[in-house]
Chain A
Amino acid sequence: MDIILQKISEYLQKGDEEKVFELTKQAIGHNFDTKEILDNGLIAGMNIIGEQFKKHEIFLPDVLMAAKAMYAGMDQLKPLLIKDGIQGMGKIVLGTVHGDLHDIGKNLVGIMLKGAGFEVIDLGRDVPAEKFVDTALNEQVKVIGLSALLTTTMSVMKEVISILKVKDTTNSIKTIVGGAPLSKDYAKEIGADAYAYDSANAVESVKELIGVN
C-alpha cells in the first residue's frame, strides 16, 4: 500500500481531520484511484478504529473524532465516486421510528455504518413506517435499520415489517432493529431479520444480511 494511503489511515485513527483532508487532496492530486483512497485509506483506518473500539482499547470520543476525520476525506471523494459510478458496500435506510425522538444511538449506528463504507440514508427521528418502505423502494436499498428507545414506539417496527410483507419485498429488503428496550427475542417475534445490541454489532449484522465480509 502506498505511503500516502497509509498516512491517511494513521491520521484518521488519530482523529486529525485537517491532516486527513490535506492527504486525501494530495492523493487525488497524485491521480490515485478513487476506490483505492477510499478502501485503503479511509475505510482501512475506520476498520482499525472499529476493531479497537470493540476490544475496548479505545473509547467513544476516539471513534467519533476518527469519524469526523473520515468525513473530511469523504467530502472530497464523494464527487469522484459519483462521477466514476463507484458503488460502496451498499445502501441502508436508517431512522428512529414514529413517536420516538431518541437519536443518539441511531446516529452512532449510522456513523459506524458509514465508516465501514455503507451509504446511509438517514431519515432522522419520528419517521412514519411508510416512509422507511417508500424510501427503500425508491432508492433500491437492501436494508432498513430501525431504532426505538421506548416500549411504546417499538410496535412501529412491526408495522414496517408488515408493510414489507404486504408489498412482498421481504426477500429483497432486509430489516435490522436495535435500541434499549429491544431483545433478540422481540426482533424474532416481529419478523425482523437481525437485531444488534450496539453500533459495532450493527455493522457486523448488516454485513451478514447483505452477504459481505
Chain B
Amino acid sequence: MSEIINFNISEIIPTREEILREQGVSQGIEVKEKINKLILKALDIFKSKAQPVGILSEISIKGFEEVFIGEGKNAKDTPLENIFPQADYLALFALTISKKVSETISKFFKENDFAIGSLLDSIATLASYKGTKVIEKYFQKSIQKKHLTKQETTVLSYSPGYCGWHISGQKKLFQFLRPEKIGLSLNASFLMTPLKSVSGIIVYGKKEIHIFQDNYPFCLECKTHSCRARMKKLINQ
C-alpha cells in the first residue's frame, strides 16, 4: 500500500549559503548585494510555486529484488545488491517539487532573466535533496512507531542511475510504486517529468551495512563521488 506525503515547503527550503554553494560560490566568499536580493526574490518565487509531494510504499526484500533487477542492465557488481538484503525494512519512494517551478525556471530563461532563473533552479535542486531527507525520516519514524523498534538504526536512500543501479531501473520502480498518483511520468529515456523529482529505495537498518569501498569499475566514471560524503556522515552520526 502506498502512502502520499504532502510536506511543508519550510522543511525543504535551502539556506542562502547552500544556494550560493550550489551556484559555485565557495564558502565564506561575500557576493554583491544585488545577488543577495535576487536570492531573496528567488526564494519568494519558490515558496509561491512549489507544491512538494511524495509517495512511499514499503516493499519486502524479495519484492525489491525484482525491482532492482529492472531491465537487466545493472552493473555486474553493485554496492546496493549487497546492502538491501541486510536491511530491516525497505520502501520505494518518489517525490516532486512541482511542474510550476520547472515552468517558471524556463520562463525566466526565455525572458533573459538568467540569474533569477538559475537561482530558482538551484533552490529547486536543493529542495529535491532535502525532500528526500524528509521522506527518509518519515519512513524511519513510521517504522519505529509500527514495530516499536528502538535499536540503533539509520535510513539512507539509493536511486536508479547511481552506483551501478541502471537508470532503466526506473521502469520497474514506476510499475511497483505508481508515482503517476503524484503527477509524475516517465519517458522512454527513463527521465521523470517534472524535472525536479527524485526516486529510489529507502534502506532502514544498521548503519554498517552502508559502508563500502568506492572502487567499482563504474566509480572511475563517476564525477560526484557523493557516496563518500554520505558514508562519512553516517560514520560520524
Binding site for B on A (CB under 8 A): 15, 59-62, 64-65, 67-68, 71-72, 99-104, 107-108, 111, 150-153, 180-181, 183
Do A102 and B223 touch (CB < 8 A)?
A: no
- Complex alpha-carbon distance, A167 and B40, angstroms: 51
- Complex alpha-carbon distance, A60 and B20, angstroms: 10
**Chain B binding surface, main DSSP class:** loop
Do A61 and B112 touch (CB < 8 A)?
A: no
Do B114 and A152 touch (CB < 8 A)?
A: no
Interface size on B, residues (CB 8 A): 33
Task: Assess whether B115 is interfacial by the CB under 8 Å rule.
Answer: yes
What are 13 sample pairs from A and B whose C-beta atoms fall under 8 A apart?
A59-B23, A59-B24, A61-B23, A61-B25, A61-B115, A100-B189, A101-B191, A101-B193, A101-B195, A102-B195, A104-B121, A107-B114, A180-B223
Task: Assess whether B158 is interfacial by the CB under 8 Å rule.
Answer: no
- Complex alpha-carbon distance, A101 and B190, angstroms: 11
Do B119 and A61 touch (CB < 8 A)?
A: yes
What is the chain B residue whose CB lies nearest that of A99?
B189
Residues on A with beta carbons closer than 8 Å to the beta carbon of B221: 181, 183
Task: Assess whether B126 is interfacial by the CB under 8 Å rule.
Answer: no
Provide the B77-117 mask, 1 if CB < 8 A to any CB of A, else 0: 00000000000000000000000000001100100111101
What is the chain A residue whose CB lies nearest that of B166?
A151
Residues on A with beta carbons closer than 8 Å to the beta carbon of B105: 104
Known: A15-B34, A150-B190. 9 other contacts (CB 8 A): A60-B23, A60-B24, A62-B31, A99-B187, A99-B188, A99-B191, A101-B191, A102-B195, A104-B118
Choose one: A59, A101, A103, A104; the contact of B25 (CB below 8 Å): A59
Residues on A with beta carbons closer than 8 Å to the beta carbon of B119: 61
